Structure formats: C-alpha cells, structure tokens
C-alpha cells in the first residue's frame, strides 16, 4: 500500500470526486479525515471506507468559516501528530456571465474555491515544514485552463487556484513539500447542476459533452481518483507546481 501510515485530510469528501479520492487514499493505507459541511454525507464516506477495511473519520466543517476550518485542521494534528496530505477539494459552481452573476455568488465562489484552499494550506504548512515533507493537492478544473461559457465566477476562481498552486510550490519545495493542482473535466456528479441549468437541462449537457469532449463522454469519478492517488503519493515524488488535466481531451481541441 503506497500510502501506508499516512494521514490525509480531504475537504469536500462527502460526495463525488472528493469521496472517490478519499476512498482510494484509504485503500492504499492512509488514515483519511473527511471534511464536509454535510455531516450525513461525510459519515457515508467514512462508512464506505470502513466497510472496505480502511481507516477514516468524519468532521463536519464549513471550509468558508475561517475559525472552524483552522480549528478542525489543528485538532487533527493534535490527535494524530501529523498531516501528510491535504487535498483541498471543496468547491462550487456559480453560473452567470459578467452582467448576470450575482455578486454574493461571486464572493461565495471565491471564498470556497480559492480562499478556503489558501487558508487550509496556510494552516497545515507549519506542520509539514516541521516534518520536512508533505503534499498539498488543490482541485482546480479544466475551466482553470480554458474558456467556460458564461461562468465568470467559476473560471476566475479556478484560474486563481492554478496560480496559487504554482506560487506555493515554488516557495515551499525547499522544505520537501509538493503542491500540485488537479483539473478534472466533465465528471457526471451533481456538482454540475449550475452549468446544466444554464445550458437548459440534461439533454443539452449531454449534447455539449458529446460535441466538446473528443472522447465523447463524461468521466467516472474512479477515473479521477487514480490521478489523485498519483499526485498525493510517492509515484509523483519529483512533481511539484504542475497541473494535471483529466478532461477526455477537451482542452486540446
């Protein structure tokens, strides 16, 4: 098991890609601390991991609450004495172009998709520096490297995650800490509901995916979990400051 004895925190791990990433880390030997604002969803992820023989626990955390996020991370370190992996995954889509997007929606998108990543990384960094090692994985999106139709809040924040990732990586490589970004493309989860609404429904999004993605289909969460495992494990030990796009070829068209 390539993550044996590692301690991982995964935010937004109550469903979708976050759950799949947490599960594969646990499968490979990590103890996974599931952060999600929905206690029921977080508990379901933990039950899935425990049922497969892994180790995990759930913490109900709203990552946009600075005090709650900081306290939760520090309590994990207090309990386990280490934090080896932080996967900043919690995020949200907010639809709308420059004129239509709600200001509060833009602010929520920034706070959740960027600021929470920043604060979580800032909180774990002293622990990782003291240990002389650590991995931070920030979830961006294929929307962080291309135009995304009338989604200015989402694309702005996901581009910002990439810039922040590169900055962190350059600043902290000398401490043995790696920082990379994951850019998923179209993965069929409820996360996409805002864009689906904007396009006009399920039939429209299916046609969009067939047309825009060279592979002509959605990804399954399991196809994103494997790249997550690569980026948080020693398999990518000489990789930092990089952006791994998993999008069925959309960004090359």
154 belongs to the catalytic site? yes
Containing structural domain, residue 95 = 7-188+221-247
Grouping H, G, I as helix, E, B as strand and the rest as coil, residue 244 is strand
Averages of pLDDT over runs of 10 residues in the chain (253 residues) are 97 96 98 97 98 98 97 98 98 90 94 98 98 98 85 94 98 98 89 73 85 91 97 98 95 81
- For position 111, which CATH number holds? 3.40.50.720
**C-alpha distances in angstroms, 68 versus 21, 25, 136, 192, 207?**
23, 24, 20, 27, 41
pLDDT at site 201: 81
pTM of the model as a whole: 0.94
pLDDT at site 241: 98
Q: Tell me which residue has tokens 């997007």.
A: 101
pLDDT at site 93: 84
Looking at the structure of the chain, the number of domains it has is 1
Choosing from 127, 147, 154, 172, the catalytic residue is 154
Query: Is 211 inside a domain boundary?
Result: no
Query: Is 208 inside a domain boundary?
Result: no
Q: Where are the beta strands (DSSP E) in 64-105?
A: 85-88
């Amino acid at each position: 098991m390539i993550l044996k004895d590692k301690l991982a925190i995964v935010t937004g791990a109550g469903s979708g890609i976050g759950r799949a990433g947490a599960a594969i880390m646990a499968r490979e030997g990590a103890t996974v601390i599931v952060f999600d604002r929905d206690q029921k969803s977080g508990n379901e992820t933990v039950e899935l991991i425990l049922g497969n023989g892994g180790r995990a626990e759930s913490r109900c955390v709203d990552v946009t609450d600075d005090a709650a996020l900081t306290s939760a991370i520090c309590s994990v370190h207090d309990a386990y004495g280490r934090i080896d992996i932080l996967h900043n995954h919690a995020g949200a889509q907010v639809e709308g172009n420059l004129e239509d997007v709600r200001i509060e929606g833009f602010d929520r998108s920034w706070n959740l998709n960027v600021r929470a990543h920043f604060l979580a990384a800032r909180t774990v960094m002293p622990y990782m520096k003291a240990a002389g090692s650590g991995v931070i994985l920030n979830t961006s999106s294929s929307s962080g490297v291309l135009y995304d139709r009338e989604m200015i809040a989402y694309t702005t924040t996901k581009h910002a995650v990439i810039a922040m990732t590169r900055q962190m990586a350059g600043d902290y490589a000398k401490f043995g800490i790696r920082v990379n970004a994951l850019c998923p493309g179209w993965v069929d989860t409820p996360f996409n509901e805002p864009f689906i609404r904007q396009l006009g429904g399920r039939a429209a999004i299916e046609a969009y995916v067939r047309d825009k993605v060279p592979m002509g289909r959605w990804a399954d969460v399991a196809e994103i979990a494997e790249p997550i495992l690569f980026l948080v494990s020693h398999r990518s030990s000489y990789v930092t400051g990089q952006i791994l796009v998993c999008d069925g070829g959309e960004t090359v068209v």
